[in-house]
Amino acid sequence: MARKSFPLSKVYGLLEPGPVVLVTTAGGEHANIMTLSWHTMLEFVPPLVGCVISNRNYSFSRLLATRECVINIPTVEIAGQVVGCGNTSGANLDKFKHFSLTPRPAMQVGAPLIEECFAHLECRLTDTRLVDSYCFFVLEVVKAWRNPAVKNPRTIHHLGGGNFMVAGEKIRLKSKMK
């Protein structure tokens, strides 16, 4: 698997642009995959990520039980599978098998990496205070990976109703922002 360790201090640059992500959880008979767009950075270092996983989703109880997950970042090449994972439930389907995605062991958590994604964030659940109100989970990224061969990842960005925007051109502006 073509991936390299990625500095935790740069994780924000992967999530800030708002890509659709695939969250994997372990536990049960098979690992599960959930498609998700409702996430935000909360802190640079250690990287904290907040995300919404509805209690109508199979991954909700898995994340609460295992307190671990992996945030995998896909590109347009597997957009069909990404949407497929969003339209099905792991309660009665092994999504890895069904969508021909390849699970690989993570280093620090029990949930698997998805080989077909270009970046992976191994996460531990650290704060559940807003789970009751908004199904909002606070995760700490404990290990990050990135495929260095993918220079310009064409991430996908949900516009609603089955419409997606694909990452376009890059521009550089003089900025003091991180």
In the shown chain, the binding pattern of residues 70 to 89 toward a second copy, with x for contact by CB under 8 A and - for none, equals ------x--xx--x--xx--
Q: Cα-flanking dihedrals φ and ψ of residue 76, to 5°?
A: -60, -25
Q: Which two tokens stand for residue 127?
A: 């704060």
Check binding of 133 to a second copy (CB under 8 A).
yes
CB of 4 to a second copy, least distance (A): 17
Among 149, 158, 143, smallest CA distance to 108 is for 143
| Number of residues counted as binding a second copy (CB under 8 A) | 56
Check binding of 39 to a second copy (CB under 8 A).
yes
DSSP-assigned states of every residue in 96-153: HHHTT--EE--SSSSSPEETTSSEEEEEEEEE-TTHHHH-EEEEEEEEEEE-TT-SS-
The residues of the shown chain that bind a second copy, judged by CB under 8 A, are 10, 12-13, 16-19, 35, 37-43, 48, 50-52, 76, 79-80, 83, 86-87, 127, 129-130, 133-134, 136, 138, 154, 156-178
